[in-house]
Amino acid sequence: MSALALLGGTRTKTKAFPTWPQYDDTERENLLEVLESRKWWRTEGTKTKQFEQDFAAYQQAAYGIAITNGTHALEVALAGIGIRPGDEVIVPNSTFVATASSVLFTGALPVLVDVEADSFNLDPDAVEAAITERTKAIIVVHLGGMAANMDRLLEITKRHGLKLIEDSAHAHGSEWRGQKIGALGTAGTFSFQSSKTITAGEGGIIISNDAAFERMARSVHDSGRLPGEWFYSHYNSGSNYRLSEWQGAILLAQLARLDDQTGRRNRNGLLLDQLLGDIDGITPQLRRPENTRNGHYAYIFHYDRTKFANVPTARFIEAIKAEGIPNQATYPPLHKLDVFQSGAYKQRLSGDQASATPSFLSQPFPNSEKSYAEAVWIPQYALLGDEADMHEIASAILKIQSHARDLC
Ligand SMILES: *Cc1c(COP(=O)(O)O)cnc(C)c1O
């Protein structure tokens, strides 16, 4: 019998990883407080308002606008910078669909570009090559919490007069050159969906340092109202994206743990870089010196099957799961999704954008394809474990490597 747990051997991992989500009496007390206050609505409540101020301050931004979820946060941010039909917004091809679908919701065209082979983040050269006279903005994603090359992206947006939105759904607490991400460009958006590093099941926020943007985005999220004006005066085209007090109550409690938990994930991520970096055939996601802190929505590494007796990635993942190491699915490249392949994405477009087929749909995306097929993601809650847990992750991989032939 093989030593591998997948084939009946003993599991590497005996002690369980921490569970997610986490809560204690603070969540319970905050919820009860909202209940008994009878102020369940964001407009007259205090919890969501407090949370948006505290979270923005934590991310070193002047303003925070709490939003129903991370997808809506992107939609409101795009509306806040004035994206409209006919515009183009550059987005990475390796991300959750929301990064692109939010652009379609404004009636603009998301232009998909490839990512870097080593960081899996937006490739600045590919961005430059995709800029046209219709390009209005770039949405960057900090994949797995690792900030993209912000120096180059900010320089490009400045030189071309574009806006930059950071889709920071993976990157609560992450830094670039010692500065928290999210408000480095015009705006940053976050998600508090249940897999994210602070959560209320659903939820989101926009942060910014730009007062004019904040005024417009806040108005859009609250039915086009303006602060201090009569309740039934509506100045802008908006909708209702307000976050409830229940979620504000939970998020305030979650926020109190975020810095400690981010510190732990960051330390464990650095330890895994060392331990896994030493394994032939495993290459951790590129961490640049400017990535001074990683909030680690996931720990991502590249798997080279040729160093594992040619065992396919999917089989390798089955084997590490059997050893007790959790795994998170990687994103299919956006251009391969049905919504793009079938042409359904054009439902939101008008004019020539609705009739033409953009060139990015016939382009190869070698790095997005490779990261889908060959990257492995360990979810954030595993990084809340201790050092011994990290050593066990490395042992499990080494064990699979030394018995890889058993899997063929
Ligand atoms: C989670 C996520 C979002 C937003 O998701 P919601 O579920 O709408 O909160 C946006 N972008 C990325 C990259 C995400 O992972």
End-to-end alpha-carbon separation of the chain, Å? 14
Residues that are catalytic: 96, 167, 170, 193, 196, 225, 232, 242
Average pLDDT over the chain reads: 97
pLDDT per residue over 282-313, tens digit each?
Answer: 999 999 999 999 999 999 999 999 999 999 99
- What element of type H or E holds 92? strand 88-92
Angle, helices 47-58 vs 245-277, to 10°: value is: 30
Q: Residue 266 has what pLDDT? A: 98
The model's confidence at residue 43, banded by pLDDT at 50, 70 and 90, is: very high
**Kind plus residue range of the DSSP H or E element containing 101:** helix 98-105
- 323 shares a domain with 206: no
- Compute the distance between CA of residue 176 and CA of residue 184 in angstroms, rounded to an integer: 9
Q: How confident is the model at residue 2 (pLDDT cuts 50, 70, 90)?
A: confident
- Residue 220 domain flag: yes
Q: Is the domain of 92 the same as that of 116?
A: yes
By residue range, what is the domain housing residue 17?
A: 5-21+258-330+369-407
Whole-number Å distance, alpha carbon 38 to ligand 1 midpoint, is 31
Which among 254, 270, 296 is the end of a domain? 254
How many distinct structural domains can be found in the chain? 2
Residues 247, 311, single domain; the answer is no
Is the pLDDT at 1 greater than 80, yes or no? no
- 289 and 322 co-located in one domain: yes
Kind and range of the H or E element at 32? helix 25-37
Cβ-in-10-Å burial (0-12, 13-18, 19+) of 289 comes to exposed
Same domain, 116 and 241: yes
Q: Which CATH number fits the domain that encloses residue 233?
A: 3.40.640.10
- One-letter amino acid at 23 equals Y
- Buried b vs exposed e over 359-382: b needs ≥16 C-beta within 10 Å? ebeeeebebbbbbbebbbbbbbbb
pLDDT digits (tens, 9 = 90+) for 252-272: 999 999 999 999 999 999 999
Residues 74 and 149 in one domain: yes
- Identify whether residues 265 and 246 lie together within a single domain: no
What pLDDT is recorded for position 48? 98
Last residue of a domain, one of 208, 231, 254: 254
| Ligand 1 contacts CB of residue 124 (under 6 A) | no
What are the pLDDT digits (tens) for 363-386? 999 999 999 999 999 999 999 999
Condensed to tens digits (0 to 9), the pLDDT of residues 246-257 reads 999 999 999 999
Together in a domain, 81 and 118: yes
200 and 320 belong to one structural domain = no
Find the CATH number of the domain harbouring 277: 3.90.1150.10
**Residues 152 and 262 occupy one common structural domain:** no
DSSP percent split of the chain into helix, strand, coil, nearest 5: 45, 15, 40
- Please tell me what DSSP assigns to residue 12: S
Upstream peptide bond of 332 is cis (omega within 30 degrees of 0): no
The percent of residues above 70 in pLDDT, for the chain, comes to: 100
Confidence of residue 213 (pLDDT cuts 50, 70, 90): very high
In angstroms, how far is CA 77 from the centroid of its own chain?
15
Q: Is the CB of 184 under 6 A from ligand 1?
A: no
Q: Are residues 307 and 394 in the same domain?
A: yes
Is the shortest distance between the CB of 330 and ligand 1 below 6 Å? no
Q: Which pair of structure tokens corresponds to residue 151? A: 């120096």
Last residue within a domain, chosen from 207, 228, 254: 254
C-alpha 342 to ligand 1 mean position (Å):
23
- pLDDT above 90: percentage of residues in the chain: 99
Instruction: Tell me which residue of 383, 47, 45 sits closest to 200, measured CA to CA.
Output: 47
Over residues 166-190, the pLDDT tens digits come to: 999 999 999 999 999 999 999 999 9
Q: Is the pLDDT of residue 274 over 90?
A: yes
